[in-house]
Structure formats: C-alpha cells, structure tokens
Structure 1
C-alpha cells in the first residue's frame, strides 16, 4: 500500500487520506460529533467532502491504522499568522475510536502534525477544544499545549452569513 508512514507504536501506521476514504472520513466526523453531542449539526455529505477535500483541496486528512484497521483521523488545514508572518496548521478534528484510546495514538497523531508543521515551515499548530471535554483538555495540557483563554471565538453562519454578505452589495 502506498503512502504508509511508520510510527514508533507497534502495528500503528499513518497515511494521508484519499478519495476512496471519503465514506470513512464522514463516518469519523459523525462519530466525533456524536461524542461531542453535536451530531445534529453535521450536514456534511460524501459529495461535499469529495469536493472540499479532494477537488478544492481546502483541507487534508491523516488516517491512523492499527493492525490495518482505520481507528483514527485528523483533519487539518493551513491558516496564517500575521504576527508570525508564516502559515500555521489548524487542526479541525482529531478523533480516536473509544476502544483505541490510551494507546498513544492521539499523541502520535499530534506529534506527526507537529513534525509536518515544522517541515512545512509553519510557526504553530493550534486547535479548539470544547470547555466541558476535560479528558481532552488534560491530554492537551500534558503535551504542553496552552489554552488561549484571552481569546473568544466568533462565528457568522447560515442566514447571518447571507445577511453579512448582502452588506457588500451596492
């Protein structure tokens, strides 16, 4: 199989996702959303993911396989820091199947993204975490990740996005 990246964890390999993985990627997205109690918000479809990930190339996916079974994924894209004057990697989703947690898979996936960020000349790796997700918060802090408590995330979507865009029309 092409595209296989060895890791230091026995029987665990990484690979970049491809078009054939779209159903798997959507499955992982839904499993993560269910864990986060947000499944009702998932509107992504295989067609949308195919277009966004592999035609527009808006993001990339890394899939983790343990004993040749897909058990985790990370979906990320590049952002840009004006302060650093360099790109960064923004991790949108990281998910490890519940039965595979505690084996070091999540840490290896984050380490891989850190290595990828350095190889690509990026200045940072960042992500969001739900305030109530204490297991993940502790996991991230154990790897020296620091919460950006002084920042608040703002979002405009759905009809509000349409209304905002209308403000540009002359």
Structure 2
C-alpha cells in the first residue's frame, strides 16, 4: 500500500476544485457548483482561513481529498469537526483510502479537543452509508438539515432592524 495523506497547499487549488466537481457529478449536483479556485484560495488559505483540506495520493498520484471545518456544540461546550466533503476516485475505491481519510480526520478532531465529527450524506447513497456504518457512524435521527440561500437569504438579511 502506497497511500500518502497530506495537507493541501495553494498549488492544489485546481485539484481541490476538480475533486469537488467530481463529487458533485457523482451526486448529480454538478449544476450547483459555482466555486472557483479563487474561492478555495480564500476559504483554505485566506486570513482567516475558514476550512482545511487534505489530498490523498496513491503511488504518487492524487486519488482523493477531504475538506472540513470546525464548528461548535453548545450542548457540550466543545468544538466539533464538520466534514464537508470526502471524495475518492472510483478506480481507487476499495483500497482503504476512505477509511484512512476518516481516521486522519478523527485524529485531527481529537487533537483539537473536538467532542465529535459530523457530516451529511444523501439518503440514496447506499455505498457511502454502508461505509459510514462500518466505521461506527450513526445517523442523527429526528434532525433534518435546513438551508437558507439566494433570494430568501437576502430577503431575511434585509428585513427588520436587528438592534431595535
């Protein structure tokens, strides 16, 4: 096994965008990708950076990535690591790369004092769900993800006086 996980660098911005687009294509959501390399530059390497990423290499070539950020749990008063994206190319799957990525993220979470890791998965993605169960992850029953975007986000931001 010749797997190397390394932190993404500014030289990897095109690769990060490539993997994001590949993941979106797999999820039939490519039409939603608007991000550019410059967006990822600001996100990963801006001051402050808002997220972190790693690149998975197999035998010297890139085969996957992960992108994550830290949020908080007010219930336990600790940080949590939120995994935004993990992607391994189809030809590299089945080699333990996904498990290695998640193990690396778990070590990072613990090193940062996090109480947990969380991520979302599409309900139809049976292979990923089976993998997540195999590493001990459980669904968060009774919760649904909510999203405010576009016109609704702008409308709410412009409504009312928040200080009044």
Match of 2:81 among 86, 89, 99: 89
- 1:1-170 equivalent positions in 2, closer than 5 A: 10-55=1-46, 56-169=48-161
For residues 100-127 of structure 1, the C-alpha deviation after alignment (integer angstroms, 9 at most, x for no partner) is 0000000010011011111111000110
Q: What displacement does 1:53 show?
A: 1.5
Q: TM-score, normalised by structure 1?
A: 0.92
Q: What displacement does 1:168 show?
A: 4.2
Tell me how far apart the structure 1 counterparts of residues 35 and 161 of structure 2 sit (CA, whole Å). 29
The secondary structure found in structure 1 opposite 2:57 is strand
The secondary structure found in structure 1 opposite 2:91 is helix
For residues 61-106 of structure 1, the C-alpha deviation after alignment (integer angstroms, 9 at most, x for no partner) is 0111011101010000001000110001000000000000000000
User: What's the Cα RMSD here?
Assistant: 1.0
- Give every structure 1 segment of 4 or more consecutive aligned residues whose post-TM-superposition deviation is greater than 3 Å: none
Q: Structure 1: which 5+ runs fail to align?
A: 1-9
The secondary structure found in structure 2 opposite 1:15 is strand
Tell me how far apart the structure 1 counterparts of residues 6 and 70 of structure 2 sit (CA, whole Å). 18
The secondary structure found in structure 1 opposite 2:44 is helix
For residues 1-39 of structure 1, the C-alpha deviation after alignment (integer angstroms, 9 at most, x for no partner) is xxxxxxxxx210110001111000000000000000000
Tell me how far apart the structure 2 counterparts of residues 108 and 168 of structure 1 sit (CA, whole Å). 48
